[in-house]
Structure 1
Amino acid sequence: MTSIIKLQALSGAMDESPPCYLLQVDDVRILLDCGWNEHFDPEFMKELKRHANTIDAVLLSYPDASHLGALPYMVGKLGLNCPIYATIPVYKMGQMFMYDLYQSHTNVEDFNLFTLDDVDLAFEKITQLKYNQSVSMKGKGYGLTITPLPAGHMIGGTIWKIMKVGEEDIIYANDFNHKKERHLNGCELEKLQRPSLFITDAFNATYQQARRRTRDEKLMTNILQTLRNNGNVLISVDTAGRVLELAHMLDQLWRNKESGLFAYSLALLNNVSYNVVEFAKSQIEWMSDKLMKSFEGARNNPFQFKHLQLCHSLHELSKVPSPKVVLASCADMESGFSRELFLQWCSNPNNSIIITTRTSPGTLARDLVDNGGNRTIDLEVKKRVKLEGPELEEYERQKKEKAEEEDRNKLDEDSDSDDDIEMSVISKGKHDIVIKQEGKIHGGFFKATKKQHPMFPFHEDKIKSDDYGEIIKTEDYKLADAVAEPDDNKENIVIKKEQTEFIAEVPEIPTKCIVLNRTVQVNAQVQYIDFEGRSDGESLLKILSQLKPRRIAVVRGNEESTFAIQNYCKEHIDARIFAPARGEIIDATSETHIYQVRLTDALVSQLKFQKAKEAELAWINAQIVLRESQLDAKPMTIDNELMEVDEEDLKTYALEPMSCLNQIPHDTVYINELKLSEFKQILSKSNISSEFSGGVLWCCNGTIAIRRIETGKVIVEGCISEEYYKVRELLYDQYAIL
């Protein structure tokens, strides 16, 4: 049986915005990536709200925000609750991306799209997989198997293979890279032959890459010229993906004394730089064969950097001697340290700005790639500043009032809780000592004071602990005959212990966020040097020719690149081509004459299944009727917001409205191909004598005849008797009567 396959692009269709696609295989809805969009438009957020409760599984391809950045928002704010699958590096590095993204925004604005708790909650739901590890989905996804395959591009990057038992396979390959790099192997698409549906992006369809050696020389030349001119180099990178390739390359260049870079500084700047490098050290098995052999042989960890200094703030970076090269996040320069350094360095003609990836249109990095430097640009500058003067006084007043109110509430809660405990003790009869309050006027027990207890009071000592568990008291483990230490040593131990247990509270500095419109003169040299790690257009077309998929869905590309792939496939590949626009639903079912209908609960409850050998069968005579709506059009609450679900919304929930069946009466049908020779044996087992004569099976001393006529029907003839009804019943038992 062929599955119904449909695809809808929520984002990343006929444009270069982050990918987010909803794949439907029969009734199972799988979200392929859920990319972060720095400029979250209301329409996209509305789409996420509509689908959050209908998604059965999420597949994540890469750890960067452009592939999974909307996940914390969907889990924390929209209540997404379904299995999420990703490779181990995507899980680990994805957290680093989201922590850095959150902190980058929080440093300059009141960011409330999601919280760090939302990030943790989202990643707790992720099932971590290894490459080529097949997982069978459960529940509605029974029969579907998903397998992650290496994709290159980033550590843990994944091409997803989705298969249904005994049917065709679906391949989701987005942003893959077939070339080997310094720290990653290429993808393994050659193992996939003629998939049923191949979903790929057209981002690089019309783009031709420079040779790797030419690219590296260009970067080296730019860095040397800038540093020798006493300028600084800003390289905008991501948090924990493509930055590994650049960091490894630059640290190797700094180690080479002939390069002339040894005298200058090299720094990695983001909010989680230390964690990123530590995670990279522990994931060598996910990297290139060359790095793995080096690590296994000489035990050389390629991410044990000698010259790369890790910084977590601009204050730490200021301590790094200039001139310097700084790898700063975020890659799109819409937020983070890369944007702050750009504002500081762009006006100096001695400095250099290097952009390593083409981000989504509308971002600062993309604007610099498309239009270059040597011009004036208007930027929105967000800052977090300390409160001063009347604002500070007002803040302190509100803080004091809030603290007093919390203290009052706490006292009330303590009083209520003590009363509840005391009354529960009396009602449950756990103790036989009851202290009656003397002089009580209003009745009841234990209302006047909290110092009296229904039994002897017990105060439990609080156990002190650190990261490794309960703090050990050395005196508890001393031998009885041990020599007592001098008093001064004991005092030192106590003082030292008290110092380790004391944690100074960092006072909260009251701040506010402001937004300024600033005109910036870009005098620094601006260059785009491709370190994206994606297959170029020529390679993509060759891969499509080798795979020869039956159907191709082209996503995430502008009109020019999308049409380029469409035209090539029409000329060189015998396949159906789809290029969905945003929100459009495409039907990629292999059999175009198959239609999907829904069985209503009332219809299913009336079906009577009959066993026929190894199968159970039921007969349906029904009429196809179009349903007015897929769901009841009633209000629903999402993110504490009441949203009216109209007819248009209902269509979106089910991707496409379906027809249903209304049952109508039908004549009785007998299903089986009965052989009279087999029925003779059945009669014999029931102690009924029978014999063949002239092609007729005679039984019960010739009083009953069983014969097959030309139409294939079996006829029973004989006198009405108990034997007749018994033979007929045995005959009916050989059929599934529907």
Structure 2
Amino acid sequence: MTSIIKLHCLSGAGDESPPCYVLQVDEFKFLLDCGWDEKFDMDFIKELKRHVNNIDAVLLSHSDPLHLGALPYAVGQLGLNCPIYATLPVYKMGQMFMYDLYQSYRNVSDFDLFTLDDVDTAFDKIIQLKYNQSIDMKGKGLGLRITPLAAGHLLGGTVWRIAAPGEEDIIYAPDFNHKKERHLNGCEIEKIMRPSLLLLGAMNADYVQQRRRLRDEKLMTTILTTLRGGGSVLVCTDTAGRVLELAHMLDQLWRNKDSGLVAYSLLLLSNVSYNVVEFAKSQIEWMSDKLTRAFEGARSNPFALRHLQLCHSIGEVTRTPGPKVVLASFPDLETGFARDLFLLWAPHPQNSIVLTARTSPGTLARDLIEKGGDRTLELAVRRRVRLEGPELEEFLQQQRLKVNNTVKEEAGGISSDSESDSELEMWVVTGRHDIPVRSDSRPSGCFKTNKRHHAMYPCHEERTRADDYGEVIKPEDYRLAEVVDAEGEIRDVPPAPPQKQEPEEEMTEIPSKCVSSVRQVVIRASIQYIELEGRCDGESLLRVVAHAKPRGIIGLRAGVSALNTLKKHCEGEGIEKIFMPNRGETIDATTESHIYQVKLTDSLMCGVTWRNAGDAELAWLSAVITAPRAREPTAEDAADDEMISLESAGPTSTPHAASFINSVRLSELRAALARLGLNAEFSGGALECCNGTIAIRRLENGRVALEGVLSEEYYKVRELLYDQFAIV
């Protein structure tokens, strides 16, 4: 059986935008990844909104925002409600990515695209899988099976194999790495052999990667030269993905006494650095065989990093004396602690900035990679500062009004004892006490009210909060001493300092605002691009394609040059179907060329008579093809084209001859006759029964012939013979 396969590219086609695709296999629709770029582009979100109610399952390949950044928005704002499949590390580390991303933007702006509750709600829907664990889809996806395979790019990174009915096998591989690294095994290439369709991330198809030894030497030389020159090194990396490879490698260098690095500090800076390292310690079984054997043998956890200091604010970094190496998020330098340190350290020539990934075009990091440093840039500087003067007074006044309104609402919520539907009460509020006054003391209805008296003055008892020894508890004694960092920016968001207010008022958040300005940043620090993305280079990618030998391939998330290189290579390998879609296009990748999808109308199905044929049911269908009805499209409609439909041909249609469906064996028919008490024996290639008066023989064309004398036994045998077929 052949499936109808279509791929709608919401994003990540024809350019380097984040991957987000709708894969349709017959009636079942997968959402392959749900990434978002550094600028939070809303263009593809509008298209995703049209499909979100028709998505049956979501497959996540990696844990970074490039692959799942829009998932909290889709769940919290668009109403995405379906099973989401990912591996355990993608679930754990994906949360850390999104927490860090949200907090980084909240630290410098009024970020409101999604909340932390949206993040938690989205990740609660994730069904956690192990590598090579197959899951069968249900409902419309009956016959579909998904299996996650190791990708080798990030911890828990996945290449998805989707097995469709028949011999259709779809491989979704947006990012993978076939080479072994310090903390990860490579992708298992032998498990993606001969797929019917390969969805391939081709961004590196024309990229020449530096050898690993030379890359590590360049990083080591940059660090040593900078530290010995009295400068500091900023390594721009992600939150919980490639940073694990870097942290493990640098901690090993610091452990080597001959390296001379013990005298310097190694810092990991992000909003969730502690949690990332703790999760890494508990996921050793997902890492390389070397680390797994070391842990099983000597019980030494490779992520018990002795020389790595965990930091959560710029203030902790500035308090660390001397030259230092800081691993900070995010690699695009658009937000986060990496951008803050870049603004601080870039004007000083003794410092070094190490860029580890080619982020999306238009980001600050990509601009520095392509154009280098030693120039002056105009950069937007955003920060959150404390309110002062009139703004602070206005904020406190609003807080007092909120508290007073809350007190009034709570006091006004006293319920009446009367259950009469028409009874109304009026509340007169004076000062801090609520006086309930009834508008009409006469009882309404035919029943007497059981409320004989008005409510008395509510008593608000004010208690002085004290400890067990009678000492008055002053909250200001327990507030954090440091509210802002060295740049005057709020990072940890501690409780607000004490203000003159009513005893019952509580400040829930620090009074602050976001300000933005444009600053001329003179870049004098050394800018180094050292590729640490953990992806296949161009030569290896093309070899993997040649080794996998897919019947069809779709090149995704790549520029024109890379796509042309991939297409030329595929043509040389004799691949039958090659697709290079652009953003927003729909690709029909169905294997068979003459296969169509139609809708069966209700009027047609009402007149169908079903017959049992083993485990299936069959029916004869007489219908005519009709064109789709024209109607106004709505925002909720999916992007699919209207399908043609089949409608009943009506009573004027020509009657058809009965069709007998089954392949009857004479031995099985003999056993059925024996159950009826009729003896039957084989003679001359025919099955004879009833003392040789009836014979059943198979003809050359495969049909079964019944011969004999008309009798009661003859009709019994004929009826039994008919029961062996589904007659439609």
Q: Fold conserved (TM > 0.5)? A: yes
Kept after mapping to 2: 8 A contact 1:177/1:534: yes
Structure 2 residues not aligned, in runs of 5+: 422-437, 444-448, 458-465, 480-493, 497-508
Structure 2: which amino acid aligns with 1:551? G
Partner of 1:481: none
Structure 1's unaligned 5+ residue stretches are 424-437, 453-490, 635-643
The RMSD of aligned alpha carbons is 3.7
Aligned partner of 1:283 in structure 2 is 283
Higher helix share: 1
TM-superposed deviation, 1:133: 1.0
Question: 1:59 Cα shift?
Answer: 0.8
Q: Aligned AA for 1:578?
A: F
Distance 1:691 1:510, change over 3 A: closer
CA contact (8 A) 1:146 1:161 kept: yes
Q: Which amino acid aligns with 1:650?
A: D
What is the aligned partner in structure 1 of residue 26 from structure 2?
26
- 2:219 paired residue number: 219
- Tell me how far 1:446 sits from its aligned partner: 3.3
Query: Which residue identity does 1:162 align to in structure 2?
Result: I
1:445 aligns with one of 429, 433, 450 = 450
Partner of 1:482: none
In 1, the alpha carbon distance for the partners of 2:720 and 2:326 equals 88
Residue equivalent to 1:662: 647
Compared with structure 1, are the counterparts of its residues 184 and 717 closer, same or farther at alpha carbon in structure 2 (3 Å cutoff)? closer
- How far residue 532 of structure 1 moved from its aligned partner, in angstroms, is 0.6
What is the distance in 2 between the residues matched to 1:160 and 1:99?
26
- 1:217-261 superposed Cα distances (whole Å, 9 cap, x missing partner): 111111122122221211110000000111111111112122121
Deviation >6 Å, runs of 4+: 420-423, 491-496, 502-505, 673-702, 704-719, 721-731
SS of the aligned residue for 2:301 comes to: coil
Structure 1 length-normalised TM: 0.82
Is 1:42 matched with 2:42? yes
Cα separation, partners in 2 of 1:148 and 1:448, compared to 1, 3 Å: farther
1:670–1:735 contact (8 Å) kept in structure 2: no
Q: Paired residue for 2:495, among 506, 523, 527?
A: 506
Within 2, Cα distance between the matches of 1:33 and 1:216? Answer: 31
Taking the aligned partners of 1:52 and 1:230, their CA distance within structure 2 comes to 54
CA distance in 2, matches of 1:52, 1:651: 9
Q: Which amino acid aligns with 1:152?
A: G
Partner of 2:149: 149
Aligned-partner SS, 2:96: helix
CA contact (8 A) 1:689 1:701 kept: no
**1:195 positional shift:** 1.0
- Residue 434 of structure 1 is matched in structure 2 by none
Structure 1 pair 727/512, CA: closer, same or farther in 2 (3 Å)?
A: same
Q: How does 1:527-566 map to 2 (within 5 A)?
A: 527-566=528-567
C-alpha displacement at 1:568, in angstroms?
Answer: 0.6
Secondary structure, aligned partner of 1:650: coil
Q: Is the 8 A contact 1:274 1:310 kept in 2?
A: yes
Contact 1:109 / 1:383 at 8 angstroms: preserved in 2?
yes
| 2:346–2:522 contact (8 Å) kept in structure 1 | yes
Identify the residue that residue 618 of structure 2 maps to in structure 1: 617
Percent identity of the aligned residues?
57
CA contact (8 A) 2:3 2:165 kept: no
Matches within 5 A, 1:690-701: none
When residues 366 and 421 of structure 1 are mapped into structure 2, their CA distance, relative to the original with a 3 A threshold, is farther
CA contact (8 A) 1:633 1:650 kept: no
- Residue correspondence of structure 1 range 68-83 to structure 2 within 5 A: 68-83=68-83
For residues 544-623 of structure 1, the aligned pairs below 5 Å read 544-623=545-624
What number of residue pairs does the alignment pair up? Answer: 666
- Return the offset for 1:42: 3.3
Matched, 1:526 2:527: yes
- Aligned match of 1:93: 93
- The 2-side partners of 1:676 and 1:173 are apart by 52
Contact kept in structure 2, 1:688 and 1:700, CA below 8 Å: no
Residue number in structure 2 paired with 1:230: 230
In structure 2, C-alpha distance between the alignment counterparts of 1:87 and 1:153, rounded to whole Å: 14
Determine whether 1:370 maps to 2:370: yes
Q: Which amino acid aligns with 1:546?
A: H
Residue 716 of structure 1, CA deviation? 11
Q: Report deviation, 1:580.
A: 1.1
Instruction: Specify the alignment match of 1:641 in structure 2.
Output: none
Q: Does 1:67 pair with 2:57?
A: no
Residue 615 of structure 1: how far off its partner (Å): 3.7
C-alpha spacing 1:680/1:527, structure 2 compared with 1 (3 Å): closer
User: What is residue 269 of structure 1 aligned with on the other side?
Assistant: 269
Distance 1:23 1:127 in 2: 19
**Is residue 398 of structure 2 the alignment partner of residue 398 of structure 1?**
yes
Equivalents in 1 of 2:455, 2:96: separation in Å? 49
Pairwise mapping of residues 153-192 of structure 1 onto structure 2 (< 5 A)?
A: 153-192=153-192
Task: Give the 3-state SS of the residue equivalent to 1:512 in structure 2.
Answer: strand
C-alpha distance in structure 1 between counterparts of 2:190 and 2:699, whole Å: 59
**Distance change in 2, residues 1:256/1:493 (3 Å):** farther
Q: Structure 1: how far apart are the matches of 2:570 and 2:371? A: 32
- 682-691 vs 520-529, which moves further: 682-691
| Paired residue type of 1:671 | F
CA shift in 2, pair 1:625/1:400, >3 Å = same
- Alpha-carbon contact 2:706-2:718 (below 8 Å) kept: no
Deviation at 1:602, TM superposition (A): 3.3
Matches of 2:237 and 2:696, distance apart in 1? 85
1:44-101 Cα shifts (integer Å, max 9, x gaps): 1101211111111111111111111111000111110111011111111110000000
1-structure distance, mates of 2:301, 2:689: 88
Deviations 1:557-600 (A, max 9, x none): 10000110000110123331111111111111111222222223
Q: Deviations over 1:119-178 (max 9, x none)?
A: 000000001111111111222222111111111111111111111354221111121011
Could you report, residue by residue, the CA deviation over 1:272-310 in whole angstroms, capped at 9, with x for unpaired residues? 000001111111111111111222222221211122111
1:699–1:155 distance in 2 versus 1, CA, 3 Å: closer
With over 3 angstroms needed to count, the CA separation of the structure-2 counterparts of 1:133 and 1:450, relative to structure 1, is: farther
- What SS does the aligned partner of 1:624 have? strand
The 1-side partners of 2:251 and 2:245 are apart by 10
Q: Is the 8 A contact 1:14 1:580 kept in 2?
A: yes
Cα gap change, 1:674 to 1:71, in 2 (>3 Å): closer
| Residues 709 and 715 in structure 1, CA contact (< 8 A), matched pair in contact too | no
